[in-house]
Structure 1
């Protein structure tokens, strides 16, 4: 069977159904099949079970395991699917991710904060709430690295895993919901066209509700901790002062945060690598890594020593997320394709966007998950993520239910990143720092079963009911 079409010059073009089938087959050839998510699933299983059942092997070989699994998927994309586009994008996103995390981790490691107070529940709550605010200024990674060590030292005689878990909940994740600097998915939304103060305007009440709810739960949990609030047998009397050492590193933090805005897709004068019609930044990443290096080279040695600073936490994150970014390409692609299909588009509401974005953000990196669901939400109404005017219009409510949909995606991507150790980059670093000082942290599944399901899941259900399903606030 043949079909006739006219090209732009009026010339009749004959296309057979066989040719169309070949084109469709060729196009489908570039898409990942369902079984290609196996390496990603295997990596998640090993992250969860390694520290429990084969700890020595895992801690010695996790870099090799992560790199091999990532390489298998990347090679399959390159030579099996002949898809270069996805691996290049994954590499670019990983470079942006690790440059920001590394810079913030190193620069904050040269700042020593000493809180000379009694480790009472109220003091801990205040630190957690301050961290939730600071996360919007220097990012969840910067706030986490700046405050986790003084938080641990303050509670040195009564530290328990729940202290670290609530820190991850409030400072490493939910706290960073108010600005694009706060968390990577919000920053990606800003680069696509979401106004800078949009998140502050629309996410503030859910952020405040979640932070106060978690602070209340933490307060009563911490109050039951019968360990001595004082400094044990020491005769030291707390002076109720806060001491800062290495304050010059705040300047390096400012450089790193400022570099975030040097995006060639927003500022045409910023040099970029051009590939496949898109511009990829590299100046920004060079500045971040250089600032991190210089902040370490010229850091206050006393602050580094007091913080017991070393590179193992960022090394662990770097290798684990090589595996995650490399192996999650098929999973993201399958989710994105379904969401943009007719069947998927028919299911898209602000409620499904909240739960879809949220649940996947807990197990996939929340930044690309945010972009996938924003792409699907726009596509379902005829918009495009690649058109900045469409994204701005979506943010301003020019599409049906678009403000509530974007709010659902934004809140869920940031909030649900706290559901697992791999939901957000700082989670793993905080866990690693805690374990280095001897705190016995729960396993991957232990984290989910003991803390995420009984504490976070009910809270997120309430957030959904109040702000999205019933729309009370």
Structure 2
């Protein structure tokens, strides 16, 4: 299985580096980068280039339902093939293609370094809760996980708690148990700090103060969590006690035990490494600029920690968690396809947002950011709409001071409009919360689904998740949030 993981990364890197390298020198000077960026404004991709992205989403949704065997054995090839189509077009036919592909490669490497290291380190921590799952216990775990998501990220919290959560509910677990875990811990829970979810971290790097999101979002966050937990407890009570597996009889009613505590140190190092960035620490060295690499010190540290943690993890913890690399392998292959195929979609959306920013109300920013974050990577979606909203106020997202001023609340140049911080708040909430709308809205969603399936837990299909839970459950909650806070 370890060989599969290494092959995944090597194949992913080869696809990007081949196409980018064929088009010329890997990294141009900053002047050339600026020229490429300027060219991008005038040379947008044709609309048909979004077809591979639509095809990938369609196959993710229908594959497990209608051609399960083919999809299970060939999804890596499908994802890489569709990625290669877009990468090939950008490498050969777009003026700014090399620059865009390399920037996407950087984002993908950073993305995989963070979620991969958190996944591996968390897999070496075995938490046993000697209690039987019931509404109050489950709700307490979900609420604790929501808080933990803001400390170690949604990926870390999800990987740490999903197995003990399933274990205490064995014999009574139903699809909604997994769905609410994804909604609360893998998504909305991470909405209070830059550590919690990637869009907020990117905002922090751009200049949004670290504690700004906590001070502005806590009421929306708490209200949403409480409402969702109340709904969950009603459903969980209806689920009944279920059947207690024979191996659990006589083993419930105790406390909590943790095996592999040493891995908490590794988790702490990963969280610290997140902030090892020149944009955070002035004067901090950047390997990317020094050696023209698609990664930096942060990614190297995370990779080293992941390797060290796996080699030194307690075997009892790994066996107890039934740890394997299949969940991160699936995320790695599918998301390289998503990252590559969504490039033209993001460029077209970004250009539209920039061109029509003056006509966009807070409501439109909220709903567009949210809906697109459910099917696109929410981090670049957040940045595109943040740039668009700042353009409406005559500000530049490239200036740290301008972003800080924007977050403090600048009066709008349009009469009767609201302050800038309301726009930032709407975009921040939507980017994080709407990630729960689909399995691809946030990386932990897919990993939780995969782990649950390996444990023979019944989970909704891609389409069932949307029509059975997202639309009837989340859309009303998001509508109330809009009505109370962003109806401008």
Q: More helix per residue: 1 or 2?
A: 2
Q: Is the 8 A contact 1:29 1:81 kept in 2?
A: no
Q: Is the 8 A contact 2:129 2:255 kept in 1?
A: yes
Q: Is the 8 A contact 1:90 1:325 kept in 2?
A: yes
Q: Distance in 2 between matches of 1:254 and 1:148?
A: 20
Q: Distance in 2 between matches of 1:322 and 1:387?
A: 30
Q: More strand per residue: 1 or 2?
A: 1
TM-score (norm 1): 0.91
Q: Is the 8 A contact 1:264 1:281 kept in 2?
A: no
Q: Give how far 1:28 is off.
A: 7.0
Q: 1:401-458: CA deviations, max 9, x gaps? A: 2111000000000000000000001000000000001012111111000110010001
1:391 to 398, 403, 414: 403
Question: Is 1:219 aligned to residue 233 of structure 2?
Answer: yes
In structure 1, the residue matched to 2:438 is 420
**Count of residue pairs brought into register by the alignment:** 442
Cα separation, partners in 2 of 1:101 and 1:202, compared to 1, 3 Å: same
Structure 1 stretch displaced more, 193-202 or 219-228? 219-228
Question: Is 1:349 aligned to residue 364 of structure 2?
Answer: no
Q: Give how far 1:291 is off.
A: 0.5
Q: Is the 8 A contact 1:107 1:249 kept in 2?
A: yes
Q: Give how far 1:280 is off.
A: 6.5
Q: Which runs of no fewer than 5 residues in structure 2 stay unpaired?
A: 1-37, 413-418
In structure 2, the residue matched to 1:158 is 172
Q: Distance in 2 between matches of 1:410 and 1:251?
A: 30
SS at match of 1:459: helix
In structure 1, the residue matched to 2:33 is none
Q: Give how far 1:119 is off.
A: 1.2
- For 1:60-75, what aligned pairs fall within 5 Å after superposition? 60-75=73-88
In structure 2, the residue matched to 1:41 is 54
Question: Is 1:332 aligned to residue 346 of structure 2?
Answer: yes
Q: Is the 8 A contact 2:382 2:428 kept in 1?
A: yes
Q: Give how far 1:237 is off.
A: 5.0
Q: Distance in 2 between matches of 1:294 and 1:274?
A: 27
- For 1:181-330, what aligned pairs fall within 5 Å after superposition? 181-228=195-242, 230=244, 235-236=249-250, 238-267=252-281, 268-274=283-289, 281-330=295-344
Structure 1 stretch displaced more, 188-197 or 377-386? 377-386
Q: Give how far 1:260 is off.
A: 0.3
Q: Distance in 1 between matches of 2:335 and 2:218?
A: 30
Q: Give how far 1:279 is off.
A: 9.7
* RMSD across aligned positions (CA): 1.8
The structure whose Rg is larger is: 1
TM-score (norm 2): 0.88
SS at match of 1:383: coil
Q: Which runs of no fewer than 5 residues in structure 1 stay unpaired?
A: 1-24
Q: Give how far 1:61 is off.
A: 0.7
